[in-house]
Amino acid sequence: MDWLAPLNLTDFTAPEAGLLLGIGLALGIALGIALGWSIRAGIDKRDESAALKALITDLHLKRPLAPIEPQIIESAGDEARCRRSVLDARDRILETLAHLRTGSPNTDVLMRLAAACTLYLREATRAPELYQFALMDLRETMVDGVKLLSDGRRRVRYLSPGERPPGKTGKAGRPAKAGKFRYRRTPSRRW
């Protein structure tokens, strides 16, 4: 109890004890708030990582973003499909913005990706025969953006936009093993 000697606890009066109790209570509340804030920040960071991972996967599965040798196209049938796909990608990018933390550095990247989608839509509308050239410009921006979004993150890895691995296709363009289940007989146990 010698360590209490400098405090001289025998001279405390009720107001001083109340002050000490108030300071302790304030410190406890501040510690609780700081702990809650750090837990919330961790949850927000995980939510942001999950949203970015889902976006990158979605862009990876967009076939119009696959690399091609662009050509001038006279018929605009494929252009309409690409337009719908880019509109969907832009909507997905804007939805992902809602999952970012306040002040996230990824906000600027997602805004650039959304602007690139809008630019593609304008260019493809003005000159539908040149839509493949605009699509490859969009792809270049998407690749750069996805690299920035996945750079240095444990949970968000890079997947190239539009380059999902080709698989063997079966009926209706589905992978050959899609929807097939193998029945494996297990030995019966008798009790």
| CA neighbor of 113 nearest in space, from 151, 133, 140 | 140
Mean pLDDT is highest, among 24-38, 113-127, 142-156, for: 113-127
**Which pTM does this prediction carry?**
0.66
Q: What is the pLDDT of residue 140?
A: 95
The CA distance from 70 to 78, in Å, is 13
pLDDT digits (tens, 9 = 90+) for 7-33: 555 555 566 767 777 888 788 888 888
The residue whose two tokens read 């406890």 is 28
91-105, 128-142, 150-164, 174-188: which range is least confident on average? 174-188
The CA distance from 166 to 129, in Å, is 27
- DSSP character string of 128-185: GGGHHHHHHHHHHHHHHHHHHHHTT-SS-----TT-PPP--B-GGG-BTTTT------
- Residues ≥6 apart with Cβ < 8 Å to 176: 167, 168, 169, 170
- Is a pLDDT exceeding 80 seen at residue 182? no
Residue 69 phi, psi dihedral angles, 5° rounding: -90, 105
Q: Torsion-angle region of residue 162: left (phi > 0), alpha (psi -120 to 50) or beta?
A: left
Q: What is the pLDDT of residue 122?
A: 95
- Copy the structure tokens of residue 74: 């006279």
Residue pair 150/157 in contact (Cβ under 8 Å)? The answer is yes
- Copy the structure tokens of residue 25: 């209570």
The CA distance from 106 to 98, in Å, is 11
